[in-house]
Amino acid sequence: MSHAFYLWMSYGATAIAVIVEIAALRARRARALRMIEEERDIEAED
């Protein structure tokens, strides 16, 4: 295994971790906003 392999695996994993974290954050925010929308709609029906 060349040294390049280890460097790529390390920097690559870090990049993926950052991307996954940011994606998860956006998904969490979207889910929270959707929940608020739904509850607002339910209340509007009353």
Partner 1 sequence: MNWFYFSSPATFYRLAGAMAPWFFALAAILAGIGLYFGFVVAPTDAQQGEVYRIIFIHVPAAWISMFLYLVMASYGAMSLTFNTRLAAMMARAIAPTGAMFTFVALWTGAFWGRPTWGTYWVWDARITSELVLLFLYLGFIALANAFEDPRRGDRAGAILSLIGVVNLPIIYFSVQWWNTLHQGSSVSLRGTSMHAAMLTGMMVMALAFWMYSIATSLVRVRAVILERERRSAWVRQLR
Among 35, 41, 42, 45, binds partner 1 (CB under 8 A): 35
Tell me how far apart the alpha carbons of residues 1 and 20 are, in angstroms, rounded to a whole number: 27
Nearer to partner 1, 22 or 46 (CB): 22
Helix segments in 1-46, DSSP class H: 3-45
Could you say whether residue 29 binds partner 1 (CB under 8 A)? yes
Interaction between residue 32 and partner 1 (CB under 8 A):
yes
- Whose tokens are 């009353």? That residue is 46
User: Would you give the binding string for partner 1 spanning residues 3-22, x where CB under 8 A is met?
Assistant: xx-xx-xxx-xx--xx--xx
